[in-house]
Protein backbone atom coordinates (compact mmCIF):
# COMPACT_ATOMS: atom_id res chain seq x y z
CA UNK A 1 0.00 0.00 0.00
CA UNK A 2 1.18 3.56 -0.73
CA UNK A 3 0.30 6.56 1.41
CA UNK A 4 0.33 10.15 0.20
CA UNK A 5 1.95 12.60 2.64
CA UNK A 6 2.88 16.24 2.51
CA UNK A 7 6.46 16.36 1.23
CA UNK A 8 7.00 20.05 1.83
CA UNK A 9 5.24 23.38 2.07
CA UNK A 10 5.81 27.11 1.96
CA UNK A 11 3.41 28.62 4.47
CA UNK A 12 1.80 32.08 4.15
CA UNK A 13 3.82 33.26 1.16
CA UNK A 14 2.75 36.55 -0.42
CA UNK A 15 1.90 36.57 -4.13
CA UNK A 16 4.24 39.07 -5.81
CA UNK A 17 3.24 38.61 -9.47
CA UNK A 18 0.24 37.51 -11.52
CA UNK A 19 0.73 37.12 -15.29
CA UNK A 20 -2.41 35.94 -17.04
CA UNK A 21 -0.68 35.79 -20.43
CA UNK A 22 2.09 33.40 -19.40
CA UNK A 23 1.41 29.77 -20.34
CA UNK A 24 1.02 28.47 -16.80
CA UNK A 25 2.74 27.54 -13.55
CA UNK A 26 3.94 29.17 -10.35
CA UNK A 27 7.31 30.96 -10.21
CA UNK A 28 9.03 30.43 -6.86
CA UNK A 29 12.26 32.00 -5.59
CA UNK A 30 15.07 29.41 -5.86
CA UNK A 31 15.89 29.90 -2.15
CA UNK A 32 12.35 28.85 -1.22
CA UNK A 33 12.38 25.92 -3.67
CA UNK A 34 15.50 24.53 -2.06
CA UNK A 35 14.24 25.07 1.48
CA UNK A 36 10.91 23.32 0.77
CA UNK A 37 12.52 20.55 -1.29
CA UNK A 38 10.49 21.38 -4.42
CA UNK A 39 11.75 20.46 -7.87
CA UNK A 40 11.28 22.46 -11.06
CA UNK A 41 8.22 21.09 -12.90
CA UNK A 42 6.91 19.40 -9.75
CA UNK A 43 3.16 19.53 -9.21
CA UNK A 44 2.11 21.69 -6.26
CA UNK A 45 -1.22 22.50 -4.67
CA UNK A 46 -1.87 26.14 -3.85
CA UNK A 47 -4.30 27.25 -1.16
CA UNK A 48 -5.28 30.92 -1.18
CA UNK A 49 -5.72 31.98 2.44
CA UNK A 50 -7.63 35.12 1.43
CA UNK A 51 -10.29 33.52 -0.79
CA UNK A 52 -10.25 29.82 0.00
CA UNK A 53 -9.42 28.98 -3.65
CA UNK A 54 -7.51 25.72 -4.06
CA UNK A 55 -5.76 24.78 -7.28
CA UNK A 56 -2.78 22.91 -8.70
CA UNK A 57 -0.02 23.79 -11.13
CA UNK A 58 3.68 23.09 -11.62
CA UNK A 59 6.79 24.87 -10.36
CA UNK A 60 9.18 27.04 -12.34
CA UNK A 61 12.25 28.69 -10.86
CA UNK A 62 12.44 32.40 -10.07
CA UNK A 63 15.76 34.10 -9.31
CA UNK A 64 17.50 33.20 -6.06
CA UNK A 65 16.75 35.71 -3.30
CA UNK A 66 14.08 37.54 -5.34
CA UNK A 67 11.18 36.71 -3.01
CA UNK A 68 9.11 35.92 -6.09
CA UNK A 69 5.87 34.00 -5.82
CA UNK A 70 4.34 34.47 -9.25
CA UNK A 71 1.12 32.95 -10.51
CA UNK A 72 1.06 32.48 -14.25
CA UNK A 73 -1.59 31.65 -16.83
CA UNK A 74 -4.98 30.54 -15.54
CA UNK A 75 -3.68 30.48 -11.94
CA UNK A 76 -3.29 34.27 -12.13
CA UNK A 77 -7.10 34.52 -11.99
CA UNK A 78 -7.19 32.70 -8.64
CA UNK A 79 -5.10 35.10 -6.55
CA UNK A 80 -4.17 38.75 -6.52
CA UNK A 81 -0.82 40.33 -5.77
CA UNK A 82 -0.57 40.52 -1.99
CA UNK A 83 -2.74 37.47 -1.31
CA UNK A 84 -1.22 35.01 1.11
CA UNK A 85 -0.96 31.42 -0.09
CA UNK A 86 0.15 28.02 1.14
CA UNK A 87 2.10 26.00 -1.45
CA UNK A 88 2.25 22.25 -0.83
CA UNK A 89 3.88 19.30 -2.60
CA UNK A 90 2.85 15.74 -1.84
CA UNK A 91 4.65 12.44 -2.38
CA UNK A 92 3.72 8.78 -2.25
CA UNK A 93 5.42 6.54 0.30
CA UNK A 94 5.16 2.93 1.26
CA UNK A 95 3.95 2.37 4.80
CA UNK A 96 7.44 1.79 6.23
CA UNK A 97 8.83 5.01 4.70
CA UNK A 98 5.77 7.00 5.79
CA UNK A 99 6.34 6.18 9.47
CA UNK A 100 9.73 7.93 9.45
CA UNK A 101 9.31 10.70 6.88
CA UNK A 102 9.39 14.35 8.01
CA UNK A 103 8.17 17.03 5.62
CA UNK A 104 9.98 20.33 5.10
CA UNK A 105 7.93 23.28 6.35
CA UNK A 106 9.09 26.75 5.35
CA UNK A 107 7.60 29.74 7.15
CA UNK A 108 8.07 33.12 5.49
CA UNK A 109 7.59 36.78 6.37
CA UNK A 110 5.47 39.18 4.22
CA UNK A 111 8.45 39.68 1.83
CA UNK A 112 8.81 35.88 1.41
CA UNK A 113 12.03 35.70 3.40
CA UNK A 114 12.49 32.52 5.40
CA UNK A 115 11.76 32.92 9.10
CA UNK A 116 14.14 31.29 11.56
CA UNK A 117 12.95 28.27 13.41
Q: Give the active site residues.
A: 25, 58
Instruction: Output the CA torsion sign for 105, 19, 29, 109.
Output: negative
61 exposed, middle or buried (CB, 10 Å; 0-12, 13-18, 19+)? middle
Q: Are 46 and 76 in contact (CB under 8 A)?
A: no
CB-CB contact of 86 with 46 (8 Å): yes
The CA radius of gyration of the chain, in Å to the nearest whole number, is: 14
Amino acid sequence: MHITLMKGKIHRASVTEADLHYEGSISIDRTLLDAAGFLVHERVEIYNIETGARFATYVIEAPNGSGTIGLNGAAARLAMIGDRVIIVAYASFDEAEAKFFSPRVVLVDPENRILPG
